[in-house]
Chain A
Amino acid sequence: GENVEQHPSTLSVQEGDSAVIKCTYSDSASNYFPWYKQELGKRPQLIIDIRSNVGEKKDQRIAVTLNKTAKHFSLHITETQPEDSAVYFCAATDSWGKFQFGAGTQVVVTP
């Protein structure tokens, strides 16, 4: 089955700097790669996703890049703000539509 690895597990950045989280996956048939943000005590919320026919997608300060050959994808957050502090999860879907999640990255943005 699919296996997703996520790095780093924690990330501390200064406000205004960029943050990058990387994920690798194992199933070459995976074709959908969402990123979720989870604030403390809340549900995971989709922030951006990318499908396998696209190499990069942007939405304001966040972007995701996908390298299908290398089987890795990354989340980029620019001009970080305190409200970006949260746990971020990457995921990949397998051939049957099941999601496999990474272990999560705790992002702390310090003023």
Chain B
Amino acid sequence: NAGVTQTPKFQVLKTGQSMTLQCAQDMNHEYMSWYRQDPGMGLRLIHYSVGAGITDQGEVPNGYNVSRSTTEDFPLRLLSAAPSQTSVYFCASKRSSRGTDTQYFGPGTRLTVL
């Protein structure tokens, strides 16, 4: 199993540009999440999905959209990038929405917005 994969590894955008960060998992996990990581602030939840066709907002959803058309894929879209979105983005998955399931992280995407 490849686990959780993310592309691209690095990305530089100009303010106002749009892009999609890709995330896929091959563990048949129902629950997937997107986090951003900024220095000194830990991991903050952007959006999450409890299954195909179901998404919900996390702690910091503004400026980001998600969709979940399949169990495997959970892309994150930046509609109009802003410098405040410069961060490292991690996708994660776990088996279900049960509180005791282990969560696994992808390798991350480092995004810089100029």
User: Is B43's CB under 8 angstroms from A97's CB?
Assistant: no
CB-contacts of A61-111 with B (<8 A) = 89, 93-104
CA distance A91 to B100 in the complex (A): 12
- Given A44-B90, A97-B97: A89 touches B43 (CB 8 Å cut-off): yes
User: What residues on A are CB-neighbors of B99 within 8 Å?
Assistant: 30-32, 93-97
CA distance A101 to B46 in the complex (A): 13
Q: How large is the interface on A (under 10, 10 to 19, 20 to 34, 35 or more residues)?
A: 20 to 34
User: Is A98's CB under 8 angstroms from B58's CB?
Assistant: yes
Q: Mark B1-41, 1 if CB is under 8 A from A, else 0.
A: 00000000000000000000000000000010100000011
Q: Does B113 count as interface, using CB distance less than 8 angstroms?
A: no
- Given A97-B31, A98-B48: A49 touches B40 (CB 8 Å cut-off): no
User: What residues on B are CB-neighbors of A36 within 8 Å?
Assistant: 105
Q: A31, A32, A43, A95: which contacts B90 (Cβ < 8 A)?
A: A43
Q: A30, A89, A93, A98: which contacts B42 (Cβ < 8 A)?
A: A89
User: What residues on A are CB-neighbors of B107 within 8 Å?
Assistant: 42-43
CA distance A32 to B98 in the complex (A): 10
CB distance from A22 to the nearest CB of B (A): 15
User: What residues on B are CB-neighbors of A89 within 8 Å?
Assistant: 42-43
Q: Mark A30-48, 1 if CB is under 8 A from B, else 0.
A: 1110101000001111100
User: What residues on A are CB-neighbors of B78 within 8 Å?
Assistant: none
CB distance from B21 to the nearest CB of A (A): 14
CB distance from B8 to the nearest CB of A (A): 15
User: Is B100's CB under 8 angstroms from A101's CB?
Assistant: no
3 A-B pairs with the lowest CB-CB distances in the bound complex, closest first: A97-B97, A93-B99, A101-B42
Residues of A within 8 A of B (CB): 6, 9, 30-32, 34, 36, 42-46, 49, 51, 89, 93-104
9 A-B residue pairs with CB within 8 Å: A30-B99, A32-B101, A46-B104, A51-B100, A97-B99, A99-B33, A99-B103, A101-B44, A102-B42
